[in-house]
Amino acid sequence: MYVIDTGKADCYRTTNQNEGPKFIRTYNPGEAFGELALLYNAPRAATCKAKTDCVLFTLDRETFNSIVKTSVEKKRERYAQFLKSIYLLSDMEQGEIDQICDSLQTMSFKKNDVIIVQVSYFVYWNYIFSN
């Protein structure tokens, strides 16, 4: 993956072998390209050429994977510690805690946002047996 520090780079893609490369866009300082190759270990889908003199930062796949792996491990440890402090979950085995950690999603709410709505048991019971 490349991040442009200074300069500009033009991106081209060949979609049809009978036609030449087609201009896609110009990347400016602070923008990145080549991230799909990192994520999917796939060949680059486009060609970028320096439009002006450029200084770029690069990130290779091995370093990227190491960063992602370390980040996931730290997140799992933080979540596991939190989940073990919850009485209802305190007796769970580590494998079960890990599965919950991997499926947790962060949700944000603003003051006075409704997080969950109370439903009467009778209404819920009727819903189940009427469908």
Residue 65, domain member (yes or no): no
The boundaries of the domain holding residue 99 are 75-130
pLDDT score of 44: 79
Residue 112, domain member (yes or no): yes
One DSSP character per residue, the chain reads -EEEEES-EEEEE---TTS--EEEEEE-TT-EE-HHHHHH----SSEEEESS--EEEE--HHHHHHHHHHHHHHHHHHHHHHHHTSGGGTT--HHHHHHHHHH-------TT--------HHHHHHHHHH-
Mean pLDDT, consecutive 10-residue stretches, the chain (131 aa), reads 96 85 95 87 86 95 89 89 90 90 88 81 61 57
| Judgement on whether residues 10 and 53 belong to the same structural domain of the protein | yes
Q: What is the CATH number of the domain that holds 21?
A: 2.60.120.10
pLDDT score of 38: 83
Q: What is the domain count for the chain?
A: 2
pLDDT score of 26: 97
pLDDT score of 7: 97
| Judgement on whether residues 55 and 100 belong to the same structural domain of the protein | no
pLDDT score of 58: 94
